[in-house]
Amino acid sequence: MRINKDAVVSAAALAHSVPGAELRLTRTDGGRLLVAQHSRADLSPCIFRHLVADGPCPIAEEVETWLAAIETHGNLDHVVAGVYRSRHRRGERWFVAELEPGRLKKVFDDLECDPVLADATVITMKADLGLGVVVVKLDVEMSASVASIDELALTAYASYVAEVASSKRADHMSEKMPKRKK
């Protein structure tokens, strides 16, 4: 898998937001770095986030020249696509979005899913202005199967991706529309 800037930004946002999350970064030269909130870590999540954020020397630029892989560890398990689950909180799922919170809220309000599960879910959106993303936490506060919670999170993530694709298509189409003469 080729690493790109979006993958590094998402990883930095998750590591910074999810308590106990760890990242294992494998460099192109084979070296490894551990991003975690303990004494064995090479970088804390806060420092890694700061290095990735747009600044005087963001490490996310030309990332493919130095980073070969990113693995999530600690309290963070990859579920599918861009969805992650907490190892210690059964009902918690996370993903990173590039839409403003107002548009994300509309995506969640229009979600087609199990209404009982949806009503028992608290959605928290935390904007990270330095990284230019929103970290989304879905917290299901009822007893439900892991598969049901994963399905809800994947439905929410897929709806977000569809909204992004739809808005990009609309932007692209409006650019191609001929201007009307007056």
Question: What is the distance, to the nearest Å, from the Cα of residue 13 to the centroid of all Cα atoms in its chain?
Answer: 7
pLDDT in tens, 24-50: 999 999 999 999 999 999 999 999 999
Do 63 and 99 lie in one domain? The reply is no
Do 140 and 164 lie in one domain? The reply is yes
Do 92 and 53 lie in one domain? The reply is no
- Of 92, 68, 69, nearest to 79 by C-alpha is 92
Question: Does any domain span residue 181?
Answer: no
Question: Does any domain span residue 128?
Answer: yes
Residue 173 binned pLDDT confidence (cut-offs 50, 70, 90): very low
Residue 61 binned pLDDT confidence (cut-offs 50, 70, 90): confident
Contact at 8 Å (CB) between 99 and 107?
Answer: yes
Question: Does any domain span residue 120?
Answer: yes
| Polymer length of the chain | 182
Residue 56 has pLDDT above 80, yes or no: no
Higher-pLDDT residue of 181 and 161 is 161
Question: What is the distance, to the nearest Å, from the Cα of residue 155 to the centroid of all Cα atoms in its chain?
Answer: 15
The structure's pTM equals 0.85
Indicate the SS3 state at residue 44.
coil
Provide the residue range defining the domain that includes 100: 79-176
Q: What is the pLDDT of residue 3?
A: 85
- Of 41, 9, 18, nearest to 87 by C-alpha is 18
Do 24 and 59 lie in one domain? The reply is yes
Do 31 and 83 lie in one domain? The reply is no
Could you tell me what percent of the chain has a pLDDT over 70? 88
Q: What is the pLDDT of residue 63?
A: 83
Name the burial class of residue 13, with classes exposed (0-12), middle (13-18) and buried (19+) by CB atoms within 10 angstroms of its CB.
buried
Contact at 8 Å (CB) between 153 and 147?
Answer: no
Q: What is the pLDDT of residue 172?
A: 46
Do 89 and 166 lie in one domain? The reply is yes
Q: What is the pLDDT of residue 100?
A: 83
Over the chain, what is the mean pLDDT?
88
Rounded CA-CA distance 108/99 in Å is 12
Q: What is the pLDDT of residue 176?
A: 54
